[in-house]
A = this chain, B = another copy of it.
Amino acid sequence: MLAAAAALMLGLGAGAAMAEAEAPVGKVTPFTLGNGLQIVVIEDHRVPVVTHMVWYKIGSIDDPQGASGLAHLLEHLMFKSFDAEAKESFAQIMSRLGAVDNATTGPDSTNYFQRVAKERLADVMAVETRRMSGLTLKEDQVLVERQVVREERRSVFESDPVKMLAEQMMATLYENHSYGRPPIGWAHEISQLKLDDALTAYRNFYIPANAVVIIAGDVTPPEVRLLAAQTYGTINVDRQPPPRLVTAEPEPIAARRVEMTDGRVPQPTLFRYYLTPSYRSATGLQAESLDILTAILGDGETSRLHRAVVTGAKAAVGVSAHYFGEGRDSGRLALFAILPGDGDLGAAEREVDRVIADLLKTGITEDELARAKAGIEARTIIESDNQKRLAALYGSALAVGRTVDDLIDAPNRLARVTKADVEAAAAAFLARQRSVTGVVAPPPQEAKP
């Protein structure tokens, strides 16, 4: 239940990475209940299904020091007995309703989603309402679930050297901010997580005023208003969540590097992360410019990195670039190259650095700018066409404090970005002292002396 978080950390999953510059398809209607719950209706009448998501503004950055993984453990626990009278578990109810459901915990937020036939929406909302107000937990459930999460960490992360490298890179990129801690938690801390801490987090953060509900699909705002009044609106909790801690990174001053060898990787792999603002934390058009810059560097076979490193120098068999701009406090521009089995990491890195130095020196072309914008627009259209992804886009953005207007205006902001904006973003953020380079390679065939 951490797929999105894993993708966030890795900078890999193009599918899970959310487009940031969306032109929403369908009418978007936000409203707020008296108890503070934000609701956003996204109409999509093509098929009689509904995607229902609850986003809580609690993520791994809210985990207390020494208790990394707490928000994620709580997410797991939310699938256990959710009120004292419940005869079925949450999972059993979802199964009975024919719902596809899951949850993810990220650095900034935790979300629960269901996809159901539209007739079942009222039931789903009723169940999530109970879960928002009536979680009950027993010590033994926590003991079991800690082991489940520990095993999840083992099977999803520790089994994959590339993910472990990414985890180490995040810990190195962030010298002060909790983004440096893995959302799933450090192994030795997962097994120490406490029921009391989970319940405190639940009481503090799982309240209407700290949640955003996204309902996308074959529904109308009046229908949703009525259902919401009958369900979420009945939660009489008027307290506010505690202030969320915002720690800032010190200004980066040193190029950093993380190196691993692991017999399980068949090919040497090279990453580069640059610390950047996020859409939420950026000023002006920085985030849009970083999105464009990323596309120019690494989106597709005509991108600069692909042409230079793969087609030209043949130093890598694949390259990609992703801008992670969805965070509340900061983001990162990530480059990735996978080498042939006998590839030379030094050579690949030199090529990557040559491409960046060249871009910084000579700038970008108007043609590249136009193509990058077109590519992002196309991605936006594709994303917007996917009900779940569109719902997630709104949910994740609102959960970090962005607004519906902000998202609706995204295409306009993208269109306004100039060549000079992109070059300014490159100059500001593609500096080596803002970066962490990560490499993982098979061990040398002969042990070094």
Closest B residue to A259 using CB positions: B255
In the bound complex, what is the Cα–Cα distance between A176 and B247 (angstroms)? 15
Main secondary structure of the interface of A (DSSP, over half): mixed
Q: With an 8 A cutoff between CB atoms, is A168 at the interface?
A: yes
Once A254-B165, A259-B254 are accepted as A-B contacts, the answer to whether A180 and B175 lie under 8 Å apart by CB is yes
Once A175-B171, A260-B255 are accepted as A-B contacts, the answer to whether A65 and B181 lie under 8 Å apart by CB is no
Q: With an 8 A cutoff between CB atoms, is A172 at the interface?
A: yes
In the assembled complex, which residues on chain B have CB atoms less than 8 Å from the CB atom of A178? 65
Q: With an 8 A cutoff between CB atoms, is A258 at the interface?
A: yes
Q: With an 8 A cutoff between CB atoms, is A250 at the interface?
A: yes
In the complex, the answer to whether A66 meets B172 with C-beta atoms within 8 Å is no
In the bound complex, what is the Cα–Cα distance between A140 and B180 (angstroms)? 35
Q: With an 8 A cutoff between CB atoms, is A112 at the interface?
A: no
Q: With an 8 A cutoff between CB atoms, is A357 at the interface?
A: yes
Q: With an 8 A cutoff between CB atoms, is A371 at the interface?
A: no
In the bound complex, what is the Cα–Cα distance between A178 and B66 (angstroms)? 10
In the assembled complex, which residues on chain B have CB atoms less than 8 Å from the CB atom of A449? 354, 357, 361
Q: With an 8 A cutoff between CB atoms, is A23 at the interface?
A: no
User: In whole Å, how far is A102's beta carbon from the nearest beta carbon of chain B?
Assistant: 27
Q: With an 8 A cutoff between CB atoms, is A264 at the interface?
A: no
In the bound complex, what is the Cα–Cα distance between A188 and B176 (angstroms)? 11
Q: With an 8 A cutoff between CB atoms, is A248 at the interface?
A: yes
1/0 per residue A417-444: CB within 8 Å of B?
0000000000000001100000000000
Closest B residue to A258 using CB positions: B254
In the assembled complex, which residues on chain B have CB atoms less than 8 Å from the CB atom of A259? 254-257, 432
Q: Quick one: which of B189, B251, B256, B354 contacts A258, CB cutoff 8 A?
A: B256
In the assembled complex, which residues on chain B have CB atoms less than 8 Å from the CB atom of A180? 175
Q: With an 8 A cutoff between CB atoms, is A47 at the interface?
A: no
1/0 per residue A174-192: CB within 8 Å of B?
0110101100001111000
Q: With an 8 A cutoff between CB atoms, is A237 at the interface?
A: no
Q: With an 8 A cutoff between CB atoms, is A68 at the interface?
A: yes
Q: With an 8 A cutoff between CB atoms, is A84 at the interface?
A: no
**Which residues of chain A in 33-67 are interfacial with respect to chain B, using CB atoms and an 8 Å cutoff?**
65-66
User: In whole Å, how far is A177's beta carbon from the nearest beta carbon of chain B?
Assistant: 9
In the bound complex, what is the Cα–Cα distance between A178 and B181 (angstroms)? 13
In the bound complex, what is the Cα–Cα distance between A120 and B181 (angstroms)? 51
Q: Quick one: which of B65, B175, B251 contacts A172, CB cutoff 8 A?
A: B175
Closest B residue to A437 using CB positions: B257
User: In whole Å, how far is A397's beta carbon from the nearest beta carbon of chain B?
Assistant: 24
In the bound complex, what is the Cα–Cα distance between A354 and B449 (angstroms)? 8
In the assembled complex, which residues on chain B have CB atoms less than 8 Å from the CB atom of A175? 168, 171-172, 180
Excluding A168-B256, A186-B250, A188-B251, 8 further A-B contacts by CB distance (< 8 Å) are A68-B176, A165-B254, A168-B175, A168-B253, A172-B172, A254-B260, A256-B258, A361-B449
The 6 closest A-B pairs by CB, nearest first: A257-B257, A171-B175, A66-B247, A168-B254, A255-B259, A186-B250
Can you give 26 contacting A-B residue pairs, CB < 8 Å?
A65-B245, A68-B176, A164-B253, A164-B254, A168-B254, A168-B256, A171-B175, A171-B176, A172-B256, A176-B186, A186-B250, A188-B248, A188-B250, A189-B247, A253-B260, A254-B258, A254-B260, A255-B258, A255-B259, A255-B260, A256-B256, A256-B257, A257-B257, A354-B449, A357-B448, A357-B449
Binding site for B on A (CB under 8 A): 65-66, 68, 164-165, 168, 171-172, 175-176, 178, 180-181, 186-189, 245-248, 250-251, 253-260, 354, 357, 361, 432-433, 448-449
